[in-house]
Structure formats: C-alpha cells, structure tokens
C-alpha cells in the first residue's frame, strides 16, 4: 500500500493541496487583550536586537523576544481557564500532539460581523450544517468574521466599556462542545469570546466550555476567507513551554485546490 504521506507530499508538490498561512505577523505593535484595569495585563511584544552582523555579532543576526502567552495569533490550552484547571494533559507542553493536526469547519459570519457585537448562535450553525453536513467530532470550528482585515484601533475596537468584537453566544459554545464534540474554536478577533463576552452567562463562554472539556482555542487568525467551508486540515502546534497556558504559534491550513 502506498504510504499516505507520500501521497500528501506529492499532492503538495503538484499543487493539488495548497498551504494557507492563517497567522498574523508577531510584531511589537501586536495587540493584546484588554481586561478590566483591576486585573493583570499581558506584557507587550518586545523584539530586542542582540546583533546584526556588527560588533555584537559580526557574522550573525539574532534578537531577544518577550511577549505574553496570549499575544497575536495564539493557542489556548485547557489550563488557561479555571474550568480546565484540573484536567490531565491541559498545558501546551503536555497536550496530545495528535490534536495539533485536525480538520476544520469554517462558518462564514463576515456579513453578520458588520455588527461588532454579533453573536454566533446555534441557529446559525444548524443552518450551516443544513448546507455542509454535520460538524464532525474533534474538528476545529473557525468563525470567519473578516476581522483580520481591520487595521489598528478598528481591530481591537475598544470603547469605554471594553472591546466590541463578534463571537459566539453561550448556548452555541455549550452545544458545539457537548453535542458536536469539537476539538476547538477559532476566531479572527482578539479572544475566542466576543469582546463583550464577559457579560454573557457564564462569562466568556467559549473559554468556559472549551477548556472545561479539555478543548482548545485559536485567536487572531487571518485569511479564513481563503478556506472552504469543509475540507481544510489545520496544523496548530503551540510552543512547548513548561506548564504554559497558551502560546503564539504558526497556524497553517492544508486545502484542496479546486
Ligand atoms: O485567551 C485569551 O487571549 C483571552 O481572551 C483572555 C486572556 C486572559 C484573560 C481573559 C481572557 S478572555
Ligand atoms: Mn488566549
């Protein structure tokens, strides 16, 4: 029998399978989530040059990097939320590597997300399933909002009462986790929850239900408009940081070329 990986390499080489980068560039101005002022805050990204072919290193270029775990395009592990705190294999360095490659269902909410407080509901997902079939267990569900096309302040979309960005409502997150057994939920916005998700019940329901079931989050994704509703395979391997709650990572999608 032909090694299936040989078929994959051949499909990549011939262009039958395309690799799509779903990652935003990690930069010193990469936005981080803004929480109420009484809580701790993520450190900003710092890229500090050590040398660039100069007296500090005549033949080499390198930097010191510092950033919060939940910065830019990043992965949330179950330990990140109190509901997942006591689960086994709940940190980025212990979660099963088999979970780092999985199929994806992409739900296009780009039109509805013109309303920055749009919330994805069960009805939206059931309408998606009526067209594309049932969401398989252990699949990523990626919410396309085209939010990654926004620049600067419009991306974080902060107002006096916090961020106003689209996301899932509580009922759909419980349903996706408990009725469809999804592997994780991904968004283009800062956070898997809506910007006003702290006011939902339970607060931050994507974090609450995903991580309570040992499932994962992806945030600040880009280019979801490049993906088909079904058929993409996601590669998402967080940094293997000791007892880490999450990490910036490169997220890639393998998609079949028409
Ligand atoms: O996972 C995140 O980046 C995120 O959204 C978050 C981070 C820390 C505290 C609360 C939240 S809600
Ligand atoms: Mn996060």
Q: Dump pLDDT digits (tens) for 55-95.
A: 999 999 999 999 999 999 999 999 999 999 999 999 999 99
Determine the distance separating the centroid of ligand 1 and the alpha carbon of 70, expressed in angstroms. Answer: 7
Q: Which atom of ligand 1 lies nearest, measured to the CA of 198?
A: 12
Determine the distance separating the centroid of ligand 2 and the alpha carbon of 75, expressed in angstroms. Answer: 6
What pLDDT, on the 0 to 100 scale, is given for residue 171?
Answer: 98
Q: Which of 68, 191, 221 to mutate to test the pocket of ligand 1 (most atoms within 8 A of CB)?
A: 191
Question: Rounded to whole angstroms, what are the CA distances from 207 to 47, 91, 135, 150, 213?
Answer: 29, 14, 20, 24, 10
Ligand closest to CA 192: 1
3-state secondary structure of 235: strand
Ligand closest to CA 248: 2
Closest CA to 76 of 186, 173, 227: 186
- Look-up: residue for tokens 């349903």? 175
Distance, in Å, from the CA atom of 33 to the CA atom of 41, rounded to the nearest integer, reads 8
Ligand closest to CA 246: 2
| Residues contacting 18, CB < 8 A, separation 6+ | 254, 255, 256, 257
What pLDDT, on the 0 to 100 scale, is given for residue 1?
Answer: 81
Cβ of 193 below 6 Å from ligand 1:
yes
Determine the distance separating the centroid of ligand 1 and the alpha carbon of 9, expressed in angstroms. Answer: 37
What pLDDT, on the 0 to 100 scale, is given for residue 135?
Answer: 98
By alpha-carbon position, which residue is closest to atom 10 of ligand 1? 35
What pLDDT, on the 0 to 100 scale, is given for residue 238?
Answer: 98
What pLDDT, on the 0 to 100 scale, is given for residue 34?
Answer: 87
What pLDDT, on the 0 to 100 scale, is given for residue 258?
Answer: 73
Q: Which atom of ligand 1 lies nearest, measured to the CA of 39?
A: 9
Q: Give the chain's count of helices (H) and strands (E).
A: 5, 15
Distance, in Å, from the CA atom of 59 to the CA atom of 115, rounded to the nearest integer, reads 51
| Joined tokens for residue 115 | 């309303």
Helices marked H in 22-166 — which ranges?
122-132, 153-156
| This prediction's pTM | 0.97
Q: Which atom of ligand 1 lies nearest, measured to the CA of 74?
A: 3
Question: Rounded to whole angstroms, what are the CA distances from 50 to 68, 86, 237?
Answer: 20, 40, 27
What pLDDT, on the 0 to 100 scale, is given for residue 15?
Answer: 87
Determine the distance separating the centroid of ligand 1 and the alpha carbon of 189, expressed in angstroms. Answer: 11
Full pLDDT tens readout for the chain, 258 residues: 889 899 989 998 998 999 999 999 999 999 888 888 899 999 999 999 999 999 999 999 999 999 999 999 999 999 999 999 999 999 999 999 999 999 999 999 999 999 999 999 999 999 999 999 999 999 999 999 999 999 989 999 999 999 999 999 999 999 999 999 999 999 999 999 999 999 999 999 999 999 999 999 999 999 999 999 999 999 999 999 999 999 999 999 999 997
Q: Which atom of ligand 1 lies nearest, measured to the CA of 70?
A: 3
């Amino acid at each position: 029998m032909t090694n299936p990986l040989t078929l994959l390499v051949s499909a990549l080489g011939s262009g039958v399978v395309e690799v799509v980068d779903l990652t935003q560039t990690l930069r010193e101005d990469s936005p981080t989530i803004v929480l109420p002022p009484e809580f701790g805050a993520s450190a900003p990204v710092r890229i500090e040059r050590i040398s660039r072919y100069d007296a500090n290193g005549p033949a080499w270029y390198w930097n010191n990097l510092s950033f919060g775990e939940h910065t830019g395009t990043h992965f949330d592990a179950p330990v990140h939320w109190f509901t997942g705190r006591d689960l086994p294999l709940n940190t980025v360095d212990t979660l099963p590597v088999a979970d780092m490659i999985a199929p994806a269902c992409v739900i296009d909410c780009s039109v509805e997300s013109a309303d920055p407080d749009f919330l994805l509901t069960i009805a939206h997902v059931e309408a998606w399933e009526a067209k594309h079939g049932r969401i398989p267990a252990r699949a990523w569900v990626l919410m396309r909002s085209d939010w990654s096309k926004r620049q600067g302040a419009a991306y974080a979309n902060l107002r006096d009462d916090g961020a106003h960005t689209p996301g899932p409502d509580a009922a759909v997150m419980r349903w996706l986790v408990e009725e469809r057994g999804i592997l994780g939920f991904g968004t283009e916005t800062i956070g898997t929850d809506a910007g006003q998700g702290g006011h939902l019940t339970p607060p931050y329901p994507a974090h609450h239900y995903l991580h309570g079931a040992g499932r994962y989050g992806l945030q600040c994704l880009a280019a979801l408009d490049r993906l088909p509703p079904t058929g993409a395979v996601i590669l998402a391997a967080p940094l293997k940081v000791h007892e880490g709650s999450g990490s910036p990572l490169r997220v890639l999608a393998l998609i079949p070329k028409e």
